Amino acid sequence: MSIINSQLKPFTAQAYHSSQFITVSDADLKGKWSLFFFYPADFTFVCPTELGDMADLYPEFQKLGVEVYSVSTDTHFTHKAWHDASDTIKKIEYVMVGDPTGTITRNFDVMIEEEGLALRGTFLVNPEGVIKVAEIHDLGIGRDASELLRKVKAAQYVASHPGEVCPAKWQEGAATLKPSLDLVGKI
């Protein structure tokens, strides 16, 4: 069964955010758009490039009402240590969720069981708790936050404009499509 259009599974976790430890749960996401950004581990190589890129665009996600949750199987204590040690990670203002039991990672089906690490998985959850975008990469392939931002805008557009769809490479303000019998074979 595809994870797309499935309901977010319940979870509670400890996280590092704004120089403090907090508890985050699925209940905190109700009524908001949320982006889960799974990565293998703190103190690694591709991960800080991705998390730093996301940190640079985080204000743009916030303008769209999207909260970002980075998640790895490290603890919230390790997230704080990495935040304190790395200039790139120090830029992060979004929530860094610790998932040492792997519960959340397994809920999204991105756990590499043999290693206890997450694949690079990105999931956009709508305000009703339904997963609308899912993207999973192998460990060596980094993501682009600007492309994720484009996908968020497309998902939000489609959610607020029933009957319309966003074509390939759609950018905010560009034309959309209204699927109908008249379009069949004309695109």
Three-state secondary-structure class, residue 58: helix
pLDDT at 109: 97
CB atoms within 10 A of CB 87: 8
pLDDT at 185: 74
pLDDT at 37: 97
In the chain the beta strands, taken as DSSP E runs, fall at 12-17, 20-25, 33-38, 66-72, 95-98, 111-112, 117-118, 120-125, 131-137
* Tokens matching residue 25: 């749960």
Q: Which of 8, 13, 24, 47 is catalytic?
A: 47
pLDDT at 54: 98
166 is catalytic: no
pLDDT at 1: 66
Q: Rounded to 5 degrees, what angle do the CA atoms 145, 151, 155 make?
A: 145
Give the residue ranges of the chain where pLDDT is below 50. Answer: none
CB atoms within 10 A of CB 136: 16
Contact between 155 and 27 (Cβ < 8 Å): no
